[in-house]
Amino acid sequence: MAEAARDQATTAETGLPFAQSHCEALVREGDPDRYLATLFAPAAARPHLFALYAFSLTVARVREAASNPMAGEIRLQWWRDALQGEARGDVKANPVAAALEEAIKANRLSRQPFVDLIDARVFDLYEDPMPRVNDLEGYCGETASALFRIASLIIGGGAEPGGAAAAGHAGVAYGITGLLRALPWHSRAGQVYLPADILGRHGVTREDIVTGRGGPGLRGACADLRDLARRHLAAYEAGRPTIAPAARTAFLPMALVEPYLTAMDRTSYDPLNTAVDLPRWRRVWRLWRASRTIR
């Protein structure tokens, strides 16, 4: 809390430049793939993209920051109120909120997708099952797909970038891949994002996951989810021509999806214990190569 108070005091003193630098540092540390991808975006758009991703990261971390679900609900409600102009106190004292407000105004962004993202993150606070594949796709749509869509609007300066359907598929592919990569950490925290209908087909229970038992059924369920991610990845690639060329930089993180999925195809892959990552140089190379072919 003392650190947060210092951040708010510094924001009040130094204003927007501090808030935007704060967001960039948050994303660099907490979401390195999007950080690296943003370095290829137009310079004028980068502070707004960092604000967007810092907001997403902050909301995604509410569960670990809150002592219980009710405390998490209160934190999420503060963000809803901040976006809708109903929060008490000086919202701009929060550096992420200050930078996000600037991004919204500068790019004439609708606030509803941000509120929808917050609403989707309520799921994170509890240990309810993800019932069906459709529910998982909807969750990824409100979170990851929304980020692709908003980022493309930011890069286009608020102009319609097209590719709404492509953004939807991109977010589901990216979101599922990220959830599979995070499975070791989520399972230890008691969170299960794998849909119950897929787990049921493979004879896997929630207890198999959160207790670390795993087993061949879990490997099969994860393989099914990789197949699902690849189907959405293919649909995104088919729809990519509908995205305005100037906005395609927003989708550079998609260049990392297939390499991560391929790493999980290996026979040595253990869903509950393998940290799936790529060397930094390889990520930069993949993003650079994708940046050369987006137009």
What is the pLDDT, as a whole number, of residue 86?
Answer: 66
What is the pLDDT, as a whole number, of residue 295?
Answer: 63
Q: How buried is residue 12: exposed, middle or buried, by Cβ count under 10 Å (0-12/13-18/19+)? A: middle
Q: Over range 257-279, report the average pLDDT.
A: 96
The position carrying tokens 């195809």 is 265
d(CA 35, CA 27) in angstroms, rounded, equals: 6
What is the pLDDT, as a whole number, of residue 55?
Answer: 98
d(CA 79, CA 101) in angstroms, rounded, equals: 11
What is the pLDDT, as a whole number, of residue 11?
Answer: 45
Q: Over range 135-148, report the average pLDDT.
A: 98
What tokens were used for 286? Answer: 């993949």
What is the pLDDT, as a whole number, of residue 12?
Answer: 47
The backbone torsions φ and ψ at residue 68, rounded to the nearest 5 degrees and listed phi first, read: -160, 170
What is the pLDDT, as a whole number, of residue 139?
Answer: 98
What is the pLDDT, as a whole number, of residue 14?
Answer: 62
Closest CA to 16 of 50, 57, 43, 41: 50
What is the pLDDT, as a whole number, of residue 89?
Answer: 62
**Is residue 222 pLDDT above 70, yes or no?**
yes
The pLDDT confidence band at residue 173, using thresholds 50, 70 and 90, is very high
The predicted-structure confidence for 42-53, as pLDDT tens digits, reads as follows: 999 999 999 999
The pLDDT confidence band at residue 215, using thresholds 50, 70 and 90, is confident
The predicted-structure confidence for 22-39, as pLDDT tens digits, reads as follows: 999 999 999 999 999 999
What is the pLDDT, as a whole number, of residue 85?
Answer: 80
Q: Over range 212-220, report the average pLDDT.
A: 92
The pLDDT confidence band at residue 3, using thresholds 50, 70 and 90, is very low
d(CA 232, CA 210) in angstroms, rounded, equals: 27
What does the buried/exposed string (b/e) look like for 19-54 if buried means 16 or more CB atoms within 10 Å of the residue's CB?
bbebbbebbbebbebbbbbbebbeeebbbbbbbbbb
Contact 271, 219 (CB under 8 A): yes
